[in-house]
Amino acid sequence: MTFKVAQACFLGAASFGLLGLLSPPAAAEVVMNKGETPCSLQDNRGNAETRVPNSDTREYVLAMEESGELRDPGLMLEDGSFYSFYFLMGEAGQNLEAQVRSSGFQPVLLITHNDTEDVVVAAEGDEDGKIYETFTLPHEGLYVIVVKSATAGETGTFELSLGVER
């Protein structure tokens, strides 16, 4: 299976605007199995990260990570929440893990297939601003990843990472 980051701008989808494109880091790997304690990994920029154990026995390779900020003024949805979004190209049946860590706001992670508008992930962060989800892509094609605030007007910074099953 391959995991590719969309390199083209996608315009015209609902009220979205392009804030940035994903860029996969050089070979950073984390392998975690069921029951393991959190471990650390280091990417090609020397950034260390502690990972939460998977709830299954799958192994994931860190495919991308992004840092972002929800700010005022910024992109805003009809409910008054600020958001940021990214794109990825995926294959049907691909298993992924997603993590969001935020500071200053409670995050919501939405991942939808661009053509079918199927919602693959809709998760709200805990009170510490963390989301951890594993999921399987139902279709091949372009996916839209949205990180938004749970409450209107909330702002702050976030880190988004995606891992793909080996």
Question: Among residues 155, 158, 94, 151, which one has the least CA distance to residue 130?
Answer: 158
pLDDT band for position 12 (cuts 50, 70, 90):
very low
pLDDT beyond 90 at 125 = yes
Higher model confidence: residue 3 or residue 71? 71
- Topology, domain 28-165: Jelly Rolls (2.60.120)
Name the pTM for this structure: 0.68
Please, are residues 103 and 129 in contact by the beta-carbon 8 Å criterion?
A: yes
DSSP code of residue 146: E
Note the pLDDT tens digit of each residue in 24-41: 333 333 333 333 333 333
Q: What are the residue ranges spanned by the domains of the chain?
A: 28-165
Q: What is the mean pLDDT of the chain?
A: 74
Confidence of residue 56 (pLDDT cuts 50, 70, 90): low
DSSP letter for 82, please.
B
